[in-house]
Amino acid sequence: MEYLQPVISVAIIPPTEGGIFNGKITNDVYTKSGAPSNSVGAIDGVLKAAGFTKVFTEDSRFYPEYGKFTQSDIRRIFQSDILALSGTTRNTDSSLDAVRQYKQTNPVGKVIAGGFGPSFEPEKWLLSGVDVVVRGEGEKTAPLAVKAIINGEPLEYIKGISYQINGEVKHNENSPLLTEQELSEAPFPFYPEYIKKKRNLHTVNESRGCYGNCKFCCVTVAYKHTYRMKTPERIVAEVRDSKDGEAIFFTGDNLAPRPKRAASRQVAEKLIESKLIRRYLAQIDASFAEDIELVKLWKKAGLFAVFQGKESINSESLKNISKPFTAEESIKSTEILRKLGFFVHDMFVVGIDGDTPKTIENFKNFLRKDNKSSSGQLLILTPFPGTPVGDEKSIFEFAQNESNLFDAQHLVTAPPRGFTCSGLQETDLDLHFDLFSNRHLSRTLFYDSRQLFSDPVRAFRLFATDIFAHVYARKTIGSMKNDPYYRKHLKNLRQVDKKMTEERKISPG
Ligand code: B12
Ligand code: SF4
């Protein structure tokens, strides 16, 4: 390389209350996940492969004090020549606070940012001190952008980036999506030793995109309704690159969509053939269960837990978000997969237009009496920038400067008719106690006991996971309810309710 090797910190800054860099991490279900980020892994890997030798991943979730950088970590990061940040909407404020502090400490340092946050709100990131935003996939663009920054070269020829010239924001044309071949030939993600040691689950990104079209989702917007799967050889190689026996979460949005069944089958076969039979976790859709042979093959390869986006059991709501499956299809799929001994985690969205107090009551009864899934999450409809829902719905004023609230557990937009804001928020949290009721746990354990004769090891693994999910969810949601941050959020929602009631009183209609 022609230049002196720059020091590059590839960092993911945890979302915090009030968006303070290195501040208090919010009490929630996800931040505690011990799975490494594929995003920083991918960027670290491509930069190293491009010849940069001083690239360091900084993920404080794997540091001795969970989610906290020490003063010496901060000094080290702030001294780097390039700070490369991975952002979602949720960690925007804490990341931008880090940018402010970095620029104060190191005025000649440069910041580059990518991920779903900066990609959909490039102006916000650029106007807060970021030098270059990489929109979309970073494998090709990140090395080009870093090289240009280091060499002081013009940026206008690099596709897929945004930056400022003389105070004016420029958006270069989009970079084309990587082909399946390019994805399969991209440098391997790089995970440093401290992450390898501490992670409790590894992540392998086997595919990108989704054929679905859910109106609240960023994936279809980012990947333009395309779906690409890496070759079986590449997926097997990434799995092999993990620690022996480690459980693996495939982070693609769908392990086996209808048009890609053959490719998915080849992956499962290759894993079996390569003796990489591990505990796999993956996202699927309701159509997976219709291909029983494939489901059984994946089971043989080690697939243990599946995450299924059911979104709702109300057909009106499903129609309103353009979900391509009916509630009946999703429920049937769960039943089939449960019978075959899978741990099924359902993902629901609450507060979709079409939801009414009556449909929520039905949902509550469904969760209490009929729900056959093992576990689940009840996300609140959130208007993520760039999505159709994000374009339609306005964000409460108090939430506009609190990106951390975009965790789909805090309501940030007006609820459907028939609900107050605070009412819907409380309903969402309370529904978790219906989902994770003691009755549900006994039902789940009873269901899984059907595996005892055919596969006792799987049965005990299922029992352990059922109990863990039950205790963890109840504890986390319980503590979230009592958290001052959540209480403050509820107070803000009550004020919005009051204002809405007053406006209705004075409105002539
Ligand atoms: C896996 C995953 C998770 C896992 C994360 C596990 C882990 N440690 O990685 C779990 C289950 C914990 C999770 C939780 C949540 N998630 Co999530 N998750 C995903 C998912 C399915 C895959 C992400 C991934 O690993 N992709 C593979 C990597 C390689 O791709 P990538 O992240 O896009 O990175 C590429 C580019 O973006 C870019 N890039 C990224 N960072 C950087 C940095 C630089 C410097 C550069 C140059 C480029 C760059 O280059 C990379 C390579 O091409 C995405 C959906 C999706 N398909 O992307 C949602 C997604 C990221 N999640 C989302 C959300 C909302 C959440 C939750 C808030 C709620 C929820 N739905 O569960 C929580 C919050 C978590 C938190 N801590 O705040 C949204 C984010 C929307 C947004 N605008 O912010 C997404 C996009 C889903 C969606 N349908 O809209 N999630
Ligand atoms: S199925 Fe999941 S990933 Fe696909 S569009 Fe819907 S929410 Fe997004």
Q: Are residues 198 and 288 in the same domain?
A: yes
Give pLDDT, residue 31: 67
Q: Are residues 331 and 457 in the same domain?
A: yes
Q: Is residue 89 part of a domain?
A: yes
* Residue that is written with structure tokens 């079986």 in the block: 232
With a 6 A CB cut-off, is 46 part of the ligand 1 pocket? no
Q: What is the mean pLDDT of residues 45-64?
A: 97
Read off the pLDDT of residues 304-362 as tens digits, 9 standing for 90 and up.
999 999 999 998 899 999 999 999 999 999 999 999 999 999 999 999 999 999 999 99
Q: Are 149 and 82 in contact (CB under 8 A)?
A: yes
Whether 509 has a pLDDT exceeding 60, the answer reads no
* pLDDT band (50, 70, 90) for residue 30: confident
| Burial per residue of 278-294, b for 16 or more beta-carbon CB atoms within 10 angstroms, e otherwise | bbbbbbbbbbbbebeeb
Whether 3 has a pLDDT exceeding 80, the answer reads no
Q: Are residues 143 and 201 in the same domain?
A: no
Ligand 1 centroid from CA 490, angstroms: 27
Q: Are residues 286 and 355 in the same domain?
A: yes
What CATH number does residue 275 fall under?
3.80.30.20
Q: Are residues 155 and 198 in the same domain?
A: no
With a 6 A CB cut-off, is 97 part of the ligand 1 pocket? no
Task: Dump the DSSP string for 328-341.
Answer: HHHHHHHHHHHHTT
Give pLDDT, residue 2: 52
Q: Are residues 309 and 362 in the same domain?
A: yes
With a 6 A CB cut-off, is 252 part of the ligand 2 pocket? no
Q: Are residues 141 and 195 in the same domain?
A: no
Read off the pLDDT of residues 162-206 as tens digits, 9 standing for 90 and up.
999 999 999 999 999 999 999 999 999 999 999 999 999 999 999
- The domain total for the chain is 2
Report the nearest atom of ligand 2 relative to the CA of 311. Answer: 7
Q: Is residue 447 part of a domain?
A: yes
Q: Is residue 503 part of a domain?
A: no
Q: Is residue 328 part of a domain?
A: yes
Percentage of the chain exceeding pLDDT 90: 93
With a 6 A CB cut-off, is 253 part of the ligand 2 pocket? yes
Percentage of the chain exceeding pLDDT 70: 98
Q: Is residue 506 part of a domain?
A: no
Cα distance between residue 108 and residue 96, in whole Å: 17
Ligand 1 centroid from CA 446, angstroms: 34
Is 211 exposed, middle or buried, given 0-12, 13-18 or 19+ CB atoms closer than 10 A? Answer: middle
Q: Lowest mean pLDDT: which of 23-37, 290-304, 401-415?
A: 23-37
Give pLDDT, residue 17: 94
* pLDDT band (50, 70, 90) for residue 504: confident
Report the nearest atom of ligand 2 relative to the CA of 216. Answer: 7
Q: Is residue 395 part of a domain?
A: yes
Closest C-alpha to 347, from 325, 377, 381, 385: 377
Q: Are residues 213 and 155 in the same domain?
A: no
Give pLDDT, residue 507: 65
* pLDDT band (50, 70, 90) for residue 158: very high
* pLDDT band (50, 70, 90) for residue 4: confident
Closest C-alpha to 3, from 167, 207, 147: 147
Q: Is residue 507 part of a domain?
A: no
Give pLDDT, residue 26: 84
With a 6 A CB cut-off, is 217 part of the ligand 2 pocket? yes
With a 6 A CB cut-off, is 219 part of the ligand 2 pocket? yes
Segments forming the whole domain that contains residue 55: 8-171
Whether 74 has a pLDDT exceeding 90, the answer reads yes
Q: Are residues 77 and 153 in the same domain?
A: yes
Residue identifier of the C-alpha nearest atom 2 of ligand 2: 309
Ligand 1 centroid from CA 441, angstroms: 30
Q: Are residues 297 and 444 in the same domain?
A: yes
Q: Is residue 407 part of a domain?
A: yes
Most informative mutation of 207, 217, 306 for ligand 2 (most atoms within 8 A of CB): 217
Instruction: Among the bound ligands, name the one nearest to the CA of residue 405.
Output: 1
Residue identifier of the C-alpha nearest atom 5 of ligand 1: 37
With a 6 A CB cut-off, is 10 part of the ligand 2 pocket? no
Read off the pLDDT of residues 81-102 as tens digits, 9 standing for 90 and up.
999 999 999 999 999 999 999 9
Whether 147 has a pLDDT exceeding 70, the answer reads yes
With a 6 A CB cut-off, is 112 part of the ligand 1 pocket? yes
In terms of residues, how long is the chain? 509
Q: Are residues 30 and 83 in the same domain?
A: yes
Q: Tokens at residue 84, please?
A: 């490369």
With a 6 A CB cut-off, is 427 part of the ligand 1 pocket? no
Helix or strand run (H / E) with residue 501? helix 484-506
What CATH number does residue 105 fall under?
3.40.50.2300
Q: Are residues 123 and 202 in the same domain?
A: no
With a 6 A CB cut-off, is 39 part of the ligand 2 pocket? no
Ligand 2 centroid from CA 283, angstroms: 10
Whether 79 has a pLDDT exceeding 90, the answer reads yes
With a 6 A CB cut-off, is 42 part of the ligand 1 pocket? yes
Largest CA distance in the chain: 71
Residue type at 358 in one-letter notation: K
Three-state DSSP at 127 gives coil
Residue identifier of the C-alpha nearest atom 6 of ligand 2: 214
Task: Dump the DSSP string for 402-463.
Answer: -GGGTTTTS--BPPPTT--HHHHHHHHHHHHHHHT-HHHHHHHHHHHGGGTTT-HHHHHHHH
Give pLDDT, residue 424: 98
Cα distance between residue 74 and residue 58, in whole Å: 10
Average pLDDT score, the chain: 95
Whether 212 has a pLDDT exceeding 70, the answer reads yes
Axis-axis angle for helices 484-506, 421-435 (nearest 10): 140
Q: Tokens at residue 36, please?
A: 């490494």
Global confidence as pTM: 0.96
Helix locations, 7-84, DSSP H: 38-49, 71-79
